[in-house]
Chains A and B, each alone.
Chain A
Amino acid sequence: MNLLEFQGKELLSSYGIKIPRSYLAYKVEDAIAGAKKIGYPIVLKSQLQVGGRGKAGAILKCKTEEELIQKFQELLTKEVNGELPKCLLVEEMADIKKEFYLSFFLNRGKRCYSVIASAEGGVEIENVENKVIIDIQNEGITPELVSEITDKIELKGNERKEFSEFIIKLSKLILEKEAELAEINPLALVGNGAFVALDAKIILDDNALFRHEDLKKYEQLSPLETQAKENGFSFVELNGDIAIIGNGAGLVMSTLDMVTDAGGKAGAFLDFGGRATTESIYQALKVISKVRKIKAILVNLYGGIVRTDLVAQAILNAYNDNTIQVPVFARITGTNSDRAREMLKESKAKLYNTVEQAINSAVNY
């Protein structure tokens, strides 16, 4: 789960990490009220999950109320990489002396948590050569490693002490809250000698949410995503008109690739997982039926252990109670496939032996 900036900062603040004074605004009146309390100039920041806000012009400085009103509307309707913000953050301008970078992340290759720190913040860390990367233990960072980091980025005196504390707090956060990433960029040294998190990118481990009641409030699922989740499906809404459902994430991804190669556009990705029952497939069709502008449903089932007549029954049920009206193109191999064929003979569903045949028919429909 990808937290929005204001959510991430709330979490940082609960660990005693300093953040700039800010107000969240859904409406322009809230923004004006917030800015009045802070005093101009302020920064207006679009709250988006996608990266690259700065480059896309979704972070703007406002010197006056007029400017704020105009830019508020501009940002609220500005899409960045296909995402529209629901709210904006009105934030005080920090008195920046120097910008740093700090992140803790799940290092998949090395299979541990790692920390990256740099005295060059405010730019993408991939483009920074002067940085230190250190692997840490599952129990958290040790004082020795904290010293190693502050040595390498050449901090002394009070700045070193403050930065060290910052590292320890963030290390605690990532392990206690089970985040996959906690990135502070820029991490600013401000006029009074404090280190302040000017931005926050935090990704939480969805699979650990069951033991973090306090983090569940950050989950922002659409009604369809909620419905899919309740059924145990993996579901991603896409922009095209062919819904793809199947049993297995890899298989559905592979089908998505093949649909795209054949010139089709996928409108939904749905993996209903290991067990195919009449009820689970019916529920999957129910989720799909609510996705906008779907013209065809492509079912790719790896058989072997699937009783295809149960799948056919699910499709038939979904047609019979009008859950779905669009045609289903299904590649189903497995036991009882003759019976499945017979059952669906009168319906708008067509069965195929190969996925290529099913895809071609769906794309050309």
Chain B
Amino acid sequence: MNNKFDLFDILIGNKKDIDFNHKPVIIQGITGSFGSTHTKLMKEYGTNIVAGVTPGKGGMSFEGIPVYNTVSDAVKETKAKISGIFVPAPFFLNAAKEAIDSGIKLLVAIPEHVPVLDSLKVLEYAKKNNARMIGPNTPGVIIPETIKVGIMPAKPFSSGSTVVFSRSGTLMYEVSHVLTQAGYGQRLCLGIGGDPINGTNLLEVFDLIREREDIDSVVVVGEIGGDAEEKLSEYIISSQFDKPVVAYVAGRAAPKEKKMGHAGAIVYGNYGSAESKILNYSKADVPVAKRPIEVPDLLKIKLKK
């Protein structure tokens, strides 16, 4: 695990930085329909999108944002360290490697249907070059009211002191929305991704926030498949993680050996089952909501203790 990596430093920086709360971001695949729609929305939200990359479209501009042929050109001009990657899955591996080669330190990998071998290769390459990938198959990351890099709508989120980590996009919106309504704003909401391989996994995101004084609690939105929640429970116990944690696990009623929408949401035998996750959470004293709407109530109880 790379302990030096500081997500907040990359996303917003320090008070002494000229571009504090205004860090430059580039978008790979900016001229695609998906990339262009969300570039507009991110810009509206206040994200400082400084450049886009689409091979063959260098010299163009989109919404006043210059488009370059290569990531290297875009980075040279803008000094961006963050890239939102919106390219189709078959092009993801090369796009991600190009970003890392060009000095990008945070890759927000939006595409769904990336082959797992490509994710493994990017992960390895990122580690070697001291970069970090969030996703793939993630809605992205948002620091409410400051920056969003991803496809999440703005409405559910408000600034505050809890964080939401989620394996699902829409459930991240749903849970953040009920938290906001109940008065629990968020310091950070981050989509781990719905794939079997996550560039930044649950243990790593917990490491990123455990020492932060501006965060008082964590909400984990999980689902069936794999053993991320089981490993997290062990981590909470063994590392004596001391912020209150509340969880939700989707897929209790899902049949076995069927992929439930996400490539990573599949149960084999007891491996990846909701029962296993809920059982392990209970060992770590993490309450699990039965429905998304119950999350704020459980958080309230946990915060009072």
Contact = CB atoms under 8 A, between A and B. Distances in A.
Interface of A: 2, 49-51, 81, 106, 108-109, 111-113, 126, 138, 175, 178, 180, 205-208, 210-211, 234, 236, 238, 246-254, 256-261, 266, 269, 271, 273-274, 302, 304-305, 356
Given A138-B117, A180-B116, A302 B170 contact: yes
B64 interface: no
Nearest to A82: B255
B292 interface: yes
A111 B260 contact: no
6 contacts: A109-B226, A206-B263, A207-B116, A208-B116, A253-B168, A304-B155
Contacts of B250: 250, 253-254, 257
Interface string B68-87: 00000000000000000000
A251 B168 contact: yes
Given A138-B117, A138-B121, A253-B265, A274 B151 contact: yes
Contacts of A211: 90, 115
Contacts of B254: 253, 256, 269
B257 A49 contact: yes
A138 B224 contact: no
A178 B117 CA distance: 7
A247 B292 CA distance: 16
A250 B197 contact: no
Given A256-B253, A302-B173, 10 more contacts: A2-B257, A49-B257, A108-B197, A138-B120, A175-B117, A178-B117, A248-B261, A249-B260, A254-B251, A304-B156
B219 interface: no
Contacts of A2: 257
Given A261-B290, A304-B173, A249 B168 contact: yes
B116 A178 contact: yes
Contacts of B151: 274
Interface in B168-202: 168-174, 194, 196-198, 201
A208 to B, nearest CB: 4
Contacts of B153: 304-305
B291 interface: yes
B261 A269 contact: yes
B148 to A, nearest CB: 13
Interface in B117-175: 117, 120-121, 123-124, 151, 153-156, 166-174
A210 B260 contact: no
B100 to A, nearest CB: 15
A253 B117 contact: no
Contacts of A266: 253
Interface in B251-281: 251-265, 268-269
A306 B153 CA distance: 10
Contacts of A207: 89, 113-116, 263
A194 B20 CA distance: 66
Interface in B222-253: 223-224, 226-228, 231, 248, 250-253
Given A211-B90, A274-B151, A269 B196 contact: no
How many interface residues does chain B have, given as a range? 35 or more
B218 interface: no
A254 B290 CA distance: 9
A275 B195 CA distance: 19
A169 B223 CA distance: 35
Contacts of A258: 291
B170 A251 contact: yes
A108 B226 contact: yes
B252 A248 contact: no
B27 interface: no
Given A109-B231, A111-B197, A253 B251 contact: yes
Contacts of B124: 138
Nearest to B264: A108
B173 A257 contact: no
Contacts of A274: 151, 169
A234 B261 contact: yes
A128 to B, nearest CB: 15
B16 to A, nearest CB: 36
B26 interface: no
Given A236-B255, A256-B254, A249 B194 contact: yes
B260 A253 contact: yes
B49 interface: no
Contact of B260 (A49, A109, A269): A269
Q: Closest 9 A-B residue pairs measured CB to CB? A: A250-B168, A249-B261, A248-B170, A304-B153, A208-B115, A260-B253, A250-B171, A234-B261, A251-B170
Contact of A257 (B120, B154, B252): B252
A148 B123 CA distance: 26
B110 to A, nearest CB: 10
A50 B114 CA distance: 25
A205 to B, nearest CB: 5
A253 B170 contact: no
A135 to B, nearest CB: 11
Contacts of A248: 168-171, 261
Contact of A236 (B168, B221, B258): B258
B260 A234 contact: yes
Interface string B14-52: 000000000000000000000000000100000000000
A327 B285 CA distance: 42
A251 B223 CA distance: 10
A238 B255 contact: yes
Q: By CB atoms of chain B within 10 A, which of A49, A138, A207 has the most?
A: A207
Contacts of A113: 120
B2 to A, nearest CB: 13
B120 A112 contact: yes
Contacts of A81: 256
A351 to B, nearest CB: 18
Contact of B223 (A138, A205, A253): A253
Nearest to A248: B170
A109 B251 contact: no
Nearest to B253: A260
Q: Could you say which of B41, B170, B262 has the most chain A C-beta atoms within 10 Å of its C-beta?
A: B170
